[in-house]
Amino acid sequence: MPNPGHSNSQSPFRLVLVSSTDCTVGGDFAAMAEAAGWTIKRIVLRCEGREEEWSGYQCWTQLVDELVEFAPDAVLSIDRRGISGAAPLIFLCEVLRVPLLVWYADNPFYLVPQPWEREMDCLASLVFDPAFVGPLREWGMRHVEHVPLGTNPDHFTVTAIEPEARPYDISFVASTGIDRIRGILAELDHAMQGTYGALASQVQAFVEEGGQWLACNPLGSPFEFIDERGPGVGELQPWIERQWPRALLAALIDFQATFTARLEAARRLLPLGLHLWGDPAWANFIPADRFHGATQWGKIQDVYANSRLVLNVSRYQLVSSVTQRHFDVPLCGAVLLTDSRPGLAEYYEPGVELIVYEGLDDLEAMASEALDNTNAEAGAERLAEINRRARETTLARHTYAHRMDAIERAARTRIEDMDRLGGASLERQPALVERCLEYFEPWIESVPGPGAERGERRLLEFILDRLEIETPRHAVVEAWRARLAE
């Protein structure tokens, strides 16, 4: 059987990529990595446009096949796809000694990493914002690195359109976050053990107050607000002190505050010619002749290419980094008009490679100046020069090809460390084996499967049969078999 995680360092890097159809990073990164010679097997969750979505059984049988037969150098999960609510991926990688890299394109603390993950040798956290590196290490995560997002030039380079022929002075592609808010509320009810209904008004007031606090402290964190305001909030207090509800409340505050900021920015720029693309909820707030509905990710470059300016209003989770939009827009011939963030100058020079605003009043002033038609020729030349410089910087430093080295280096470091330690952490720390079983059991009970037999039992049997491990870590597999026999 191939030995996962230990391929020849001179051979093409082999990666299992776990993402989902709503994850733009996965597709763009995979395309560039494959073009550069990597061999990639993709597992895509929640496939759209198919009669049936991936079931847990299908996903996991494919994953185990890839881990055993494909023998990857690493598994890369985007934003914990395949991990949250499905802890067995971590344990399978730990048993097989395959590095598991989690690339966070969102705030990692919103996605609720579990305390036992700190003990796993296979796991490394890659964060898009360097501001998360220190807090994750302080929390006890041992392997944390900053790996920014990037762009795929093959996706975003389009035929140039002359500025005067572009129909949109300002485009804004944004989400209200309302669907995410609904999902978080449903999850919060579960996290609060069904008590959310009775405390809904308190939660709503707390979240609204948190949004107001962020508006006054734009570089602050929802967690800072929770820590400052948390004591003395009545019946909500016990839940704020628990990791899962606390993370969900922070995400709620972020999404609702971000929506408020985006709506205000859009309203300020409507008189200057703003057009908006996004989820249907925007129709309740934006005039019909300015709202164009959702745009598919494969078509978003056409929106950018038909715009003189592209507005960006960052989520509050963004502390000292940039979004993927910062990298995509310059390749389409447009200029990004973005809010200020510490660390922005590490990527682009403000005023030279993009236009940066400080607050709503400044937003209007900067947009007006950029679109000033009193000297159309000079204005067009200025925007063209800004775009030229930003495009050069993007192609030289910020494509996903530039992120591949960091990802491969993180994987090989994990392999070297696991070899040096002489065994997976599950074998060295028996208590983690029992913790593995504790997390595996409720998950396995919920997994559907084909046929009349219990799908979860068939899945566990499949996993154990496919592993076929004859190593010191065999004790972990035997513990799973013992649990199966109960």
Q: Which of 297-311, 418-432, 454-468 has the lowest mean pLDDT?
A: 454-468
- The DSSP secondary structure of 288-303, one letter per residue, reads TTTB-----GGGHHHH
Per-residue pLDDT band for 113 (boundaries 50, 70, 90) equals: confident
- The pLDDT tens digits for 373-405 are 666 777 888 999 999 999 999 999 999 999 999
Confidence of residue 235 (pLDDT cuts 50, 70, 90): confident
Contacts of 255 (CB under 8 A, 6+ apart): 177, 180, 181, 184, 315
User: What mean pLDDT is reported for the chain?
Assistant: 84
pLDDT band at 96 (very low <50, low <70, confident <90, very high): confident
Question: What's the pLDDT score for residue 436?
Answer: 64
Sequence letter at residue 261? A
Strand ranges in 354-469 using DSSP code E only, listed in sequence order = 355-357
Q: What is the pLDDT of residue 58?
A: 67
Kindly indicate the confidence band of residue 5, based on its pLDDT and cuts at 50, 70 and 90: very low
Distance CA 377, CA 384 (A): 11
Please state, for a pLDDT cut of 70, what percent of the chain lies above it. 80
* Residue 321 and residue 343 in contact, taking contact as beta carbons nearer than 8 Å: yes
> Is 386 strand, coil or helix?
helix
335-387 pLDDT, tens digit each: 999 999 988 999 999 999 999 999 888 999 999 999 986 667 778 889 999 99
- Segment (H or E) for 137: helix 133-139
> Do the Cβ atoms of 44 and 19 come closer than 8 Å?
yes
What percent of the chain lies above the pLDDT cut of 90?
A: 49
Over residues 38-65, mean pLDDT: 65
> Is residue 451 predicted with pLDDT exceeding 60?
no
pLDDT over 50 (residue 471): no
pLDDT value at 406 more than 60: yes
Amino acid 397: pLDDT: 97
The 3-state DSSP composition of the chain as helix, strand, coil percent (nearest 5) reads 55, 15, 35
242 dihedral zone (left: phi>0; alpha: psi -120 to 50; beta): beta
Rounded CA separation 319/307 (Å): 27
Band of the pLDDT at 47, cuts 50, 70, 90? Answer: very low
H-type alpha helices, 177-278: 178-191, 196-216, 222-229, 237-240, 243-269
pLDDT for res 378: 79
pLDDT, residue 3, reads 43
Structure tokens at 250: 């922070």
Q: Which has more pLDDT, 278 or 91?
A: 278
Residues facing 15 on adjacent strands: 40, 74
**Does 455 score more than 80 pLDDT?**
no
User: Given this model, what pLDDT does residue 6 score?
Assistant: 44
Q: Which residues pair with 311 in a beta bridge?
A: 337
Is residue 421 pLDDT above 90, yes or no?
A: no
Domains annotated for the chain, with CATH where assigned, are 14-150+401-485 (3.40.50.2300), 153-397 (3.40.50.2000)
Could you tell me the pLDDT band of residue 50, with boundaries at 50, 70 and 90? very low
CA 14 to chain CA centroid, nearest Å:
22
The tally of CA atoms less than 13 A away on the side-chain side of residue 333 is 21
Of residues 129 and 7, the one with the higher pLDDT is 129
Among the ranges 6-10, 47-51, 319-323, which has the highest mean pLDDT value?
Answer: 319-323
**Residues 12 and 135 sit within 8 Å (Cβ to Cβ):** no
